[in-house]
Amino acid sequence: PLKKGPIDIGYRAAQRLQDNDNWMRIFEDQNSDVMTSERRAAYDYEEIFHSVYSTLGQTFGKFGVNLGVRAEFVGTHFDSRTTDHEFENDYNTIFPTMNLSYTRKPGQSARLLYSKRIMRPPVFYMNPVQLSLDPLNITVGNPDLRPSYMQNFSLDFSYTGSKGTIRVAP
């Protein structure tokens, strides 16, 4: 039934690798070769992403509709080389998008947009090893952290003339 719009279908795979090896060595004084304590925080982190997506667009006179959806399957592996513990934290997410537009006449349009977005935690937030020797300043990560999601809505109006474009968005 679609006569005026494209349909896109795709697949994407990606891998993110990160490693870290931190050593903290405390000596008796700045000229000493005698170490009084030592801490290490080392890890390897891997994230593998598989995404499938589809978008479709259609116009109905002065109205336009673009709809999309992305399904994301993510496998994570955190290997603490300091403690010999390994953590898996896999997750799956659906990301819908929508773009509705109305064109009053060429160069004058209004759009309503919606999208779901993701913010993945930085890897160092997941490291469960405490590196600090200061008992009043302790930082320990959580390997079970999950991503956070945002629901974004926006509305804008635009006018395009011979001297440029003006866009207003509350």
Report residue 115's pLDDT band, with 50, 70 and 90 as the boundaries: very high
pLDDT at 130 over 90: no
**Listed ranges 16-25, 31-40, 134-143, 146-155; the one with the highest mean pLDDT:** 146-155
pLDDT at 8 over 70: yes
pLDDT at 14: 96
Judged by phi (left if over 0) then psi (alpha if -120 to 50, else beta), residue 62 lies in alpha
The pLDDT tens digits of the residues spanning 34-69 come to: 888 777 788 999 999 999 999 999 988 999 999 999
The residue behind tokens 């994570």 is 76
Is residue 71 within 8 Å of 54, Cβ to Cβ? no
